[in-house]
Amino acid sequence: MKELILKYGCNPNQKPAKIYMESGNELPIKVLCGNPGYINLLDALNGWQLVSELKRVSNLPAATSFKHVSPAGAAIGLELDNVLKKIYWVDDLTLSPLANAYARARGADRMSSFGDFIALSDICDKETALLVKREVSDGVIAPGFSDEAFEILKKKKNGKYNIIQIDKNYIPDSIEKKQVFGITFEQMHNNLDINDSLLENIVTNNKDLPENKKLDLLISLIILKYTQSNSVCYVKDGQAIGIGAGQQSRIHCTRLAGNKADNWFLRQAKCVLNLPFKDDIKRADRDNAIDIYIGDNSADELLADGIWENLFVKKPDEFTKDAKREWLKNLKGVCLGSDAFFPFSDNIERAKKSGVEYIAQPGGSLRDDIVIDCCNKYDITMVFTGIRLFHH
């Protein structure tokens, strides 16, 4: 297939629309089921690059959950503990390493992942397909699908679920182009190799950087490479737990991603794990209720009389601000990556509140000394990578 005609472009008024190879070669993808749209394909192709790089640095299967041209989550296939299985709604499933990767990618920020496009680094197996089957999703891209997995997925959305196979050996041209307002932009493809060498310049007093934290920092940098700038990413134990994308101010990125990381950890508190939901409440409604419960307005929006009865068999106790603050003190060992330098120490102050102990950022600000001093105050290990990771 040398071109694929699309229903429309980014919006329904943008017709005609298609994708094709300017060289005239065959497309490196095959649509096995469904009719993917313009944004679906942007998510699929960016997601595939991301998971390919995650697998390269980790030697483990990887998955990402993409929404609106930025990842909502991404992870490698480390086994889940019982708490994470429960908050990701997968405690009733048998999970392969690839399924573990997608459970982590989808589960870290389930609100943002609703209606995602999935990218998988490896051939989709039955266990991963069964997980994907029950989530609200637009499609999946992978280098292949087992017969069992394909049979499961092709029935999703009444046979209209987007299933895309990509040639895992495809290498793009070194020069890429795009048009804006009729003007052609041309640049070298971002083939930056993200590896351990980027983590050698430790600029803080604390030089401790364990191997597992190096991997988490590399994961954060790879995720940032495919996230709309400005962006900041919090990672813990092989998965993103908070991504702040597309903000004009870096502190807003840090706050947004930090709030998501906090929410990820708050969901693991005992009072949240034991919320007395009615048996017939759908998974998406549970996600929405939990998001409100751990937020600031639960008393009015969830626990008020006439509301809680619709979801719970009994009224839950409020998760107070003081209780949340105490619980969040247990969040530690978090890694943070930034796609450009931190211009002020307020980013470090905010990151510390979400358990950040390791940071990778380019460096190069006029206030680097102030940022380093702030890290030293909290005994944070920070590296200057010397590279910027803007993505648009």
Q: Among candidates 31, 58, 90, which has minimal Cα distance to 221?
A: 58
Closest CA to 145 of 159, 170, 128, 161: 128
Which class would CATH give 194-265+328-384?
alpha beta
90: CB partners within 8 A, 6+ apart: 80, 99, 103, 107, 131
Q: Do domains 3-166 and 194-265+328-384 have the same CATH topology?
A: yes
CA 342 to chain CA mean position, Å = 21
Residue 18: C-alpha distances to residues 42, 161, 179, 198 (Å)? 12, 19, 14, 38
Which sequence positions are flagged as catalytic? 67-68, 230, 392
**DSSP 8-state assignment for residue 318:** P
As assigned by CATH, the class of the 3-166 domain is: alpha beta
* Rounded Cα distance, 179 and 153, in Å: 35
User: What single string gives the DSSP state of each residue in 248-259?
Assistant: SSHHHHHHHHHH
- pLDDT at position 392: 81
- For the stretch 110-116, contacts whose Cβ atoms lie closer than 8 Å and that sit 24 or more positions apart, written own/partner, are 110/287, 111/287, 111/288, 111/291, 112/65, 112/67, 112/72, 112/73, 112/260, 113/65, 113/67, 113/72, 113/73, 114/284, 114/287, 115/67, 116/43, 116/65, 116/66, 116/67, 116/72
- Identify the three-state secondary structure at position 10: coil
- The answer to whether the beta carbons of residues 115 and 86 sit under 8 Å apart is no
Write down the number of H helices and E strands in the chain: 14, 15
Phi/psi at 6 (5° precision): -105, 155
pTM reported for the whole predicted model: 0.96
Residues in CB range of 135: below 8 A, 6 or more apart: 106, 113, 116
Greatest CA span in the chain, whole angstroms?
64
- In this structure, what is the dihedral angle of CA atoms 273, 277, 280, 282, given to the nearest 10 degrees? -60
Q: Could you state, in order of their start, the residue ranges of all structural domains in the chain?
A: 3-166, 194-265+328-384, 270-318
Structure tokens of 193? 């190799």
d(CA 67, CA 215): 24
Strand partners for 6? 17
Ordered per-residue pLDDT tens for the chain, 392 residues: 889 999 899 999 999 999 999 888 999 999 999 999 999 999 999 999 999 999 999 999 999 999 999 999 999 999 999 999 999 999 999 999 999 999 999 999 999 999 999 999 999 999 999 999 999 999 999 999 999 999 999 999 999 999 999 999 999 999 999 999 999 999 999 999 999 999 999 999 999 999 999 999 999 999 999 999 999 999 999 999 999 999 999 999 999 999 999 999 999 999 999 999 999 999 889 999 999 999 999 999 999 999 999 999 999 999 999 999 999 999 999 999 999 999 999 999 999 999 999 999 999 999 999 999 999 999 999 999 999 999 88
Distance of CA 195 to the CA centre of its chain: 20
